[in-house]
Amino acid sequence: MPRPGVIVWEALRNVFSKKATIDYPFEEGVKPKYGLRGAHVLYIEECTGCRACQRVCPSLAIEMVPSELTKTKKRPVINLGQCIFCGLCEEACRYDALFLTDYIELSAFQQKEMIIYENEPPKEEISEGNEPKEEDS
Amino acid sequence: MADKKKIKLGSPQTGCSSCIPNTFEIPLGPQHPALKEPTHFLLEVEGEIIVNATPRIGYVHRGIEKLAETKTYSANLTLVERVCGICSHIHSISLANAAEAALALEGFEVPLRAQYIRTIVAELERIHSHILWLGVAAHEIGFDTLFMLSWRDRELTMDLLEDISGNRVNYAMNEIGGSRRDMNQSQIDRMLKYMDITEERMERYKDICINENTIRMRTQDVGILLPQKAKELCACGPTARASGVAIDVRYDDPYSAYGEFRDIFNVITYDTNDVFSRVVVRIIETVEACKYIKWMLKNIPDGPIFKKAPRKVPEAQILSRTEAPRGELIHYLWSNNTNKPYRLKITTPTLSNINTVPEMMKGDYLADSTITLASIDPCFSCEDRMITIVNNDRRKPKIETWSESQLRKYSNDWHAKNKRWKK
């Protein structure tokens, strides 16, 4: 039998219940603890330039450029504008050099800003950067 | 109901027959507030009543099938997920099933735990798709309270999907030979808890939809599709089941882990053949999907989730059928002993359901055309992958198949005629 206004009580009850939404930019969004697929992190000292990540990438977001730092004299440059965040590159990397982080706020004003690790870091910085970390741990 | 339809069709003709035509043509789309994606319907109306409707599709053709021929199988799994934004996982299941069926010729087997994980994600996807549809349908009939409430409850499922796969929409969970991510005990407990809540909420919505006058008055006796017509027009999925045609690929031809719980599987049908029936079928299916997920979580076997597959798929032609949230999805794969498919043909459920819309609209009021169109849960960018050339006269469409030389000649002529057109 049809009963009118079944949803009215439902709607009224929600007036006094907890808020379902969040004030996003001021309040932190809800993220899973692990497993989120966001922007990449590349440990260039581990990378050998084996091109596994480039070959497996479905959207051709990874490009290999000449470099002095790696074994094969090549290193990956990642275009986050083309990336679909499938995580295949992370799985393909045998040397644990490439990771996806939970950093997902990736909006930018220019296309250039979406390309990460475009410029080669100087050799000295890499070696210096590693030392204090080891001391801390 | 059939009698009522006849009375509507036989309404007195409006206007003077000599000067004013009896029918008018009203275009619905391609850009229209009621449509979420572009498509075109040419409605012939007689006063307020629709006499005829002609669909025209093909506004968002993206060339995914051709692109699939240039990519490897594992890259294609992430590509075919982009065919549809809502039912993305089922596409990758379809392609993985097709490739694994070809590999099975050489004795390749997928671990059972991977099949369970795939099926759980597919059912979660069905829940979120059906609740999304319920919200959209409620919005189309101007019942925004239900839209807000149902989309709030959808967030639970979306959180689960994000927790399991790391992404809210395109999950990228499948790999040829298994699943890419495993589920731990805390995730399973959380899923069981959330499924209980979702099931309780959906029972509540079932109660609301069946008893609330706001929905009944807008959906009952609207968009009638009789079972005979549904069979003739090749309707599938919830659209066919709402007309009393009991077809479901999950039950008829079980894939992945659906064969494991075929005893407790129910094919949901409803017999009023109208939009109301489609609402009820989708809500009951959501409740059922919660039950299947709980059964699978309790009976999930231990073991590996992935077995490394050979890169080259042996030569075979395989038709893989799966049940997407909207109906039967078909992937036709032609492999040629390389690591890339020779041909991939995708037929989505909306392509077969779109033919039923003119039949539903006939004899209804113009104001009901939006909810009638929404009742098949249309997804236009999924379906747009046919290449046919149709005559300019829309009333008498004549489909021809052109050869390559004919197409080239047509292209040259067109560009000669339209010299100022720029790419």
Note whether residue A117 is domain-resident: yes
Return the CATH number at A49.
3.30.70.3270
pLDDT band, residue B386 (cuts 50/70/90) = low
Secondary structure percentages of chain A, helix, strand, coil, to 5 = 30, 15, 60
Q: Domain tally for chain A?
A: 1
Of the candidates A11, A37, A84, the beta carbon closest to that of B145 is on A11
Note whether residue A48 is domain-resident: yes
Contact flag A3-B180 (C-beta cutoff 8 Å): no
pLDDT band, residue B130 (cuts 50/70/90) = very high
> Could you tell me if B351 and B330 are in contact, meaning their C-beta atoms sit under 8 angstroms apart?
no
Question: Taking CB atoms and an 8 Å cutoff, what residues of chain A touch B159?
Answer: 30
Contact flag A36-B146 (C-beta cutoff 8 Å): no
Mutate to test the interface with B, among A7, A34, A89, A101 (most CBs of B within 10 A): A7
Per-residue confidence (pLDDT) for residue A22, from 0 to 100:
87
Note whether residue A20 is domain-resident: no
ipTM, interface predicted TM-score of the complex: 0.84
Contact flag B216-A2 (C-beta cutoff 8 Å): yes
Question: Taking CB atoms and an 8 Å cutoff, what residues of chain A touch B162?
Answer: 32, 36
Per-residue confidence (pLDDT) for residue B416, from 0 to 100:
85
Q: What is the pLDDT of residues B29-77, one digit of tens each?
A: 788 887 888 888 999 999 899 999 998 888 888 888 888 999 999 999 9
- Assess whether pLDDT exceeds 70 at residue B15: no
- Assess whether pLDDT exceeds 90 at residue B7: no
Three-state SS at A127: helix
- Assess whether pLDDT exceeds 70 at residue B182: yes
pLDDT band, residue A61 (cuts 50/70/90) = very high
Q: Any CB–CB contact under 8 A between B155 and chain A?
A: yes
Per-residue confidence (pLDDT) for residue B296, from 0 to 100:
94
Q: Which helix (H) or strand (E) holds A76?
A: strand A74-79
- Assess whether pLDDT exceeds 50 at residue B8: no
Of the candidates A2, A4, A32, the beta carbon closest to that of B163 is on A32
- Assess whether pLDDT exceeds 50 at residue B272: yes
Per-residue confidence (pLDDT) for residue B391, from 0 to 100:
57
Contact flag A88-B78 (C-beta cutoff 8 Å): yes
Q: What is the pLDDT of residues A73-131, one digit of tens each?
A: 999 999 999 999 989 999 999 999 999 998 888 888 998 888 988 887 777 665 555 54
Note whether residue A44 is domain-resident: yes
pLDDT band, residue B85 (cuts 50/70/90) = confident
- Assess whether pLDDT exceeds 60 at residue B13: no
Mutate to test the interface with A, among B89, B144, B205, B211 (most CBs of A within 10 A): B211
Per-residue confidence (pLDDT) for residue B422, from 0 to 100:
55
The boundaries of the domain holding residue A85 are: 29-131
Tokens of residue A85, six digits: 């965040």
Of the candidates B78, B181, B213, the beta carbon closest to that of A2 is on B213
Note whether residue A112 is domain-resident: yes
CA of A100: which chain B residue's CA is closest?
B166
Per-residue confidence (pLDDT) for residue B327, from 0 to 100:
93
Per-residue confidence (pLDDT) for residue B17, from 0 to 100:
53
pLDDT band, residue B19 (cuts 50/70/90) = low
d(CA B104, CA B173): 21
Note whether residue A1 is domain-resident: no
Q: Please tell me the pTM assigned to this model.
A: 0.86
CATH 3.90.1170.40 fits B64-353, yes or no: no
